[in-house]
């Protein structure tokens, strides 16, 4: 026989703790209040319109944004999960609240985060917290780049010509302009075409955490952004990269700056790699393999290709 209990909610939460609620573990290691302060500093909360309800606290929305990315949820799915899922309600501080963010609220907050300054500020705030917990970048670093596809844009030839000239079609309404992605471009990889962006990153070898990020349009070559993502704060000077980063005098230039460069060799047409070069490539690949799951996280958050 099933019995009712006045303490059912507390008993369920206690059982969640015994089973191991990963969100409560995150609670112990991430200072969400500090992250929210960075968002408010760079992208202040919008003013309350006359007669409108006050916006939800920034810290709550930062937590919700983390949940969406962690579990790959759409705005509609997030709205349902917050209403249905005890662990989400506890993490967001909404266990006893009658007001819950809806899908439009999640979308609006994400739009607030779209400015480049906000993304950089959040990323640096997370890095500072990592350092405070002792996770300083060590052991050298590995650079890599990933393609992040986005939905294809339906534009006319005339509109496409204007966009190439960095102009906006006059007939586009404000709502239409917000929905159009005017910076994504096409590129090819392994014989397949992709439309979207390229994310270049540097991860440290010791903790396998992403330390530097550079976002560019998909058509830009990987090799352009190696120097942009170099982490000069890393305690090691070893730098690992695949053959996509071979670029003329780059290796000599980096060595002159004090880096120990481990970039895989690329075979030239009619000139295969020597046995020594192939062995060197294999050694570098072993190091890269140790941090591949770091870049696999990008796949969960947008689609690494």
Dist. CA 226–CA 174, nearest whole Å? 36
Yes or no: say if 281 and 265 are a contact pair by the CB < 8 Å rule.
Answer: yes
Q: Which phi and psi angles does 153 have, rounded to 5°?
A: -95, 135
Q: Which residues of 192-212 are buried (b: 16+ CB within 10 A; e: fewer)?
A: eebbbbbbbbbbbbbbeebbb
pLDDT at 290: 75
Centre a 10 Å sphere on the Cβ of residue 45 and count the other Cβ atoms it contains.
Answer: 16
Yes or no: say if 63 and 57 are a contact pair by the CB < 8 Å rule.
Answer: no
Q: Which phi and psi angles does 144 have, rounded to 5°?
A: -160, 165
Dist. CA 46–CA 115, nearest whole Å? 15
Dist. CA 6–CA 59, nearest whole Å? 30
Q: Which residue numbers in the chain have pLDDT < 70? A: 3-8, 47-52, 116, 153-182, 295, 297-305
In three-state secondary structure terms, 182 is coil
Q: Alpha carbon 241 to chain centroid distance? A: 20
What are residue 239's DSSP bridge partners?
141, 261
Q: What are the domain boundaries of the chain?
A: 8-119, 137-300
Yes or no: say if 121 and 41 are a contact pair by the CB < 8 Å rule.
Answer: yes
Token pair of 158, please? 């005339």
pLDDT, tens digit (0-9, with 9 covering 90-100), for 116-169: 688 888 989 999 999 998 999 999 999 998 888 877 766 666 656 655 555 555
Yes or no: say if 222 and 245 are a contact pair by the CB < 8 Å rule.
Answer: yes
């Amino acid at each position: 026989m099933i019995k009712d209990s006045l303490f059912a909610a507390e008993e369920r939460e206690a059982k969640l703790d015994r089973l191991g609620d990963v969100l409560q573990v995150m609670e112990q290691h991430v200072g969400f209040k500090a992250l929210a302060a960075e968002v408010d500093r760079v992208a202040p909360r919008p003013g309350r319109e006359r007669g409108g309800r006050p916006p939800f606290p920034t810290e709550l929305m930062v937590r919700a944004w983390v949940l969406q990315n962690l579990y790959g949820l759409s705005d509609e799915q997030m709205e349902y999960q917050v209403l249905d899922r005890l662990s989400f309600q506890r993490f967001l501080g909404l266990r006893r609240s009658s007001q819950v963010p809806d899908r439009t609220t999640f979308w609006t907050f994400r739009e607030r985060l779209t400015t480049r300054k906000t993304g950089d500020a959040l990323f640096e705030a997370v890095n500072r917290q990592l350092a405070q917990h002792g996770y300083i970048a060590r052991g050298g670093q590995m650079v890599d780049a990933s393609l992040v596809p986005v939905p294809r844009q339906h534009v006319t030839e005339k509109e496409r010509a204007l966009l190439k000239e960095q102009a906006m079609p006059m007939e586009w309404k404000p709502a239409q302009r917000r929905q159009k992605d005017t910076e994504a471009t096409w590129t090819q990889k392994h014989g397949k075409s992709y439309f979207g962006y390229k994310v270049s990153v540097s991860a440290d070898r010791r903790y396998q955490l992403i330390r530097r990020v550079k976002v560019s349009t998909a058509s830009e070559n990987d090799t352009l952004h190696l120097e942009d993502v170099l982490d000069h704060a890393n305690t090691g000077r070893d730098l690992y990269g695949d053959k996509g980063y071979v670029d003329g005098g780059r290796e000599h230039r980096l060595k002159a700056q004090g880096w120990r460069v481990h970039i895989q060799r690329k075979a030239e047409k009619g000139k295969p790699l020597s046995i020594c070069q192939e062995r060197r490539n294999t050694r570098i690949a072993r190091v890269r393999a140790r941090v591949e799951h770091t870049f696999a996280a990008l796949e969960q958050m947008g689609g690494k290709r």
